[in-house]
């Protein structure tokens, strides 16, 4: 996923379906300098992690 699109998803008031390695996730923050995003699985909000933007997929 491109940095700009990830940031648009973060700022969107709508729910946009995004997955990381097939798992539905919520994007909390985009780190444009590192090309990563702070995410967590929708069903496990306590499992936050930083992941490469290239591994995120919009559906």
Q: What is the CATH number of the domain that holds 52?
A: 2.30.30
pLDDT of residue 45: 96
- Banded model confidence at residue 49, pLDDT cuts 50, 70, 90: very high
pLDDT confidence of 36, banded at 50, 70, 90?
very high
Q: Give the number of domains in the chain.
A: 1
Q: What is the pLDDT of residue 19?
A: 98
Q: pLDDT of 6-32, one tens digit each? A: 999 999 999 999 999 999 999 999 999
Handedness of CA 16, 10, 27, 45 (dihedral sign): negative
Q: What is the dihedral of CA 40, 42, 47, 53, to 10 degrees?
A: -20
The distance of Cα 7 from the centroid of its chain, to the nearest Å, equals 9
CA–CA dist 39, 6 (Å, integer): 11
Cβ–Cβ < 8 Å for 29, 15: no
The H-or-E segment that residue 9 falls in is helix 3-11
Mean pLDDT score of the chain, rounded to an integer? 97
Q: Which domain holds residue 27?
A: 3-58
């Amino acid at each position: 996923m491109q940095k700009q699109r990830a940031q648009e998803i973060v700022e969107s008031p709508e729910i946009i379906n995004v997955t990381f390695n097939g798992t539905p996730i919520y994007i909390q923050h985009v780190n444009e300098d590192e090309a990563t995003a702070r995410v967590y699985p929708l069903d496990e909000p306590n499992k936050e992690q930083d992941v490469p933007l290239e591994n995120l997929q919009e559906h």
